[in-house]
């Protein structure tokens, strides 16, 4: 299993706007509905008001790579423009 922990460093005051757009456009739901996805959830940081966390669990690298070809993945990249100044991505491989 592939686990990704992503920290989006949002521009000041842009975290909630990004979070709402993700919900409105159903990016989180579409990702959760993909074959090979076990979890795709966003969380708010309690320490930094501009950090938005994303935790993803994928069956394998192939499922995640397929996810990266889909329209809702590309849409998230578009939504991040002007709202996210950077991201820290940590990948972990676990046994199922």
For the stretch 67-93, pLDDT in tens is: 999 999 999 999 999 999 999 999 999
Q: How far apart are the first and last CA of the chain?
A: 6
Checking if the pLDDT of 96 tops 90, the result is no
**pLDDT of amino acid 70:** 98
User: 3-class SS at 79?
Assistant: helix
Whole-angstrom distance, CA of residue 64 vs CA of residue 45 = 24
**pLDDT of amino acid 44:** 96
Q: Which helix (H) or strand (E) element contains residue 74?
A: helix 71-80
């Amino acid at each position: 299993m592939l686990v990704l922990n992503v920290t989006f460093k949002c521009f000041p005051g842009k975290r909630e706007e990004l979070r709402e757009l993700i919900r409105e456009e159903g990016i989180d739901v579409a990702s959760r509905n993909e074959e090979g996805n076990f979890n795709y959830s966003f969380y708010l940081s309690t320490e930094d008001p501009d950090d938005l966390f994303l935790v993803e669990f994928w069956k394998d690298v192939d499922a995640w790579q397929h996810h990266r070809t889909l329209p809702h993945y590309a849409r998230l990249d578009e939504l991040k423009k002007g709202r996210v100044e950077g991201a820290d991505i940590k990948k972990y491989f676990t046994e199922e």
